[in-house]
Amino acid sequence: MVSALGMTAVLGGCGLTGDSDGVTLKLVAADYGDSKDNSSRKYWDELVESYEAKNPDVQVDVTVYSWNDVDRKVREMVEAGEAPDMAQIGAYSDYADKELLYRADDVLSIPVQADFVSQLAAAGQVNGVQYGLPFAASTRVLFYNKTLFDKAGVQPPKSWDDLAEAAEALEEKGVKYPYALPLGAEEAQAETMQWMLSGEGGYTDDVGTYSVDSPQNVTTFTWLRDELVGKGLTGPVAPGKLNRADAFAAFAAGDVGMLNGHPSLMKMASDKGVKYGMVTTPGIDGESKNTLGVSDWMTAFKKNGHRDEIGDFLDFVYSEENVLDFSREYDLLPVTTSASRTMSTAPEDENLKPFLDELLLSELYPVGKTSWASVSADVKKRIGQAVATGASPKEVLGQIQATAMKAGSAE
């Protein structure tokens, strides 16, 4: 995911009859691999080769970029008037707002559209219309180091109080990061939302209005400041400067007692020989009723007018077999109900079951709001200050809320 590949493969396509010259679809995709051997390029090569065998009249030109580059590259293409036919990226709402995208029901067959996991399909909507097609998903659970927990004589936590008690016991045993709290700029919006949900809050209220400084969220961050950070239970790096990648690396090195993690952490920890367990995120009074869900998105641009060809290709992309192949290759959750059902009972996918169980309880970022990019950026900039010693969580959350209201008023 950190390799800037920028590779292009001219590949073939699936079940349509075109004109004598055929049709070339351009797809820009993100790379989920961490090396050349498991680059997403390999996945797309194999998938499109299979597609081409069924329809020689459609060519698919695939370009794969790292996550560091892909959203910017697509934005530059769109601004230059050279939008691809499809882009598999991190956000969609700005393009939908500018009426640059096909609706889901413009391109997908009814069975394919109906197969999306409901929470993910809903998160792909702008004003009740789906434009974002979920492509890959993950949820969060609490990872804990079994060896460190055994030495400290503590059990996996179910509530905030349990978590604080476990962190204190781990700290007494010299654990470097009893609880790793990554509120650094890399992915602060994720850790923030996970904690908001565990305190029965969130970025928005029940009707979708921003509520960053709600009483529930203020209570959550006051507790974090007083019971974890203020007591030295979050490690030597200030939460506002600790990035998720560094927290994951510290867990894999055996230096972290607990942290919120997604499926990729399993392989990192296993490769380093860390014995870990996973439990539902602790909540204010017991297990959290909600967890963070995250999805990346496939988009279909109108620019080149290839609606039918795009739709036929995407129907193939979202077949159960292909969704399962991608999910298994990258330890991600399938975005369709059919593939989720298969994965939930397959022995080979047993390690992903805790995350699958959480998917139906998950809540996603308010990605359907064009203002979300501004709000997310402000969270990354400010939220670490909310848990600093002597800080006012209410004041910091109020500043983010002001950004949200200003950005939201322009929608």
pLDDT tens for 353-374 read 999 988 888 999 999 998 998 9
Q: What is the DSSP letter of 327?
A: H
pLDDT in tens, 169-226: 999 999 999 999 999 988 899 999 999 999 999 999 998 899 999 999 999 999 999 9
> What's the pLDDT tens digit per position in 291-331?
999 999 999 999 999 999 999 999 999 999 999 999 999 98
pLDDT mean across residues, the chain = 91
pLDDT of residue 18: 40
Distance (Å, whole) CA 56 – CA 200: 53
Contact at 8 Å (CB) between 235 and 167? no
Asked if residue 39 lies in contact with residue 64, where contact means CB atoms within 8 angstroms, the answer is: yes
Contact 379, 373 (CB under 8 A): no
**The pLDDT value given to residue 361:** 81
- For residues 260-270, average pLDDT: 93
Residue 4 has pLDDT above 80, yes or no: no
Q: What is the mean predicted confidence (pLDDT) over 80-98? A: 95
pLDDT for res 10 = 29
The pLDDT value recorded for residue 3 is 26
Query: Which are the contacts of 238, defined by CB distance < 8 A and separation ≥ 6?
Result: 384, 388
Inform me whether the pLDDT recorded for 107 exceeds 50.
Answer: yes
What's the pLDDT score for residue 350?
92
Helix 215-223 and helix 393-409: axis angle, to 10°? 140
pLDDT at 261: 95
pLDDT digit string, tens, across residues 222-264? 999 999 999 999 999 999 999 999 999 999 999 999 999 999 8
Mean pLDDT of the region 115-144? 95
Residue 70, pLDDT above cutoff 80: yes
pTM of the model: 0.85
Half-sphere exposure of residue 372, counting CA atoms within 13 Å on the CB side?
A: 21
Instruction: Give the span between the Cα atoms of 123 and 203, in whole angstroms.
Output: 14
Of the given ranges (12-21, 104-113, 233-242, 244-253), which has the lowest mean pLDDT? 12-21
- The residues that bridge with 143 in the sheet, in sequence order, are 259, 278
In tens, the pLDDT along 150-178 reads 999 999 999 999 999 999 999 999 999 99
Measured in whole angstroms, the distance separating CA 66 from the mean position of its chain's CA atoms is 15
Q: How confident is the model at residue 9 (pLDDT cuts 50, 70, 90)?
A: very low
Is residue 58 pLDDT above 90, yes or no? yes
What would you measure as the largest C-alpha separation in the chain, in angstroms?
Answer: 74
Strand partners, 299: 87
Q: Nearest-CA neighbor of 145 among 253, 291, 263?
A: 253
- Can you name the residues that pair with 277 across neighbouring β-strands? 144
pLDDT at 21 over 90: no
Those residues with Cβ within 8 angstroms of residue 118's Cβ, 6 or more apart along the chain or in another chain: none
What's the confidence (pLDDT) of residue 33? 85
pLDDT at 242: 96
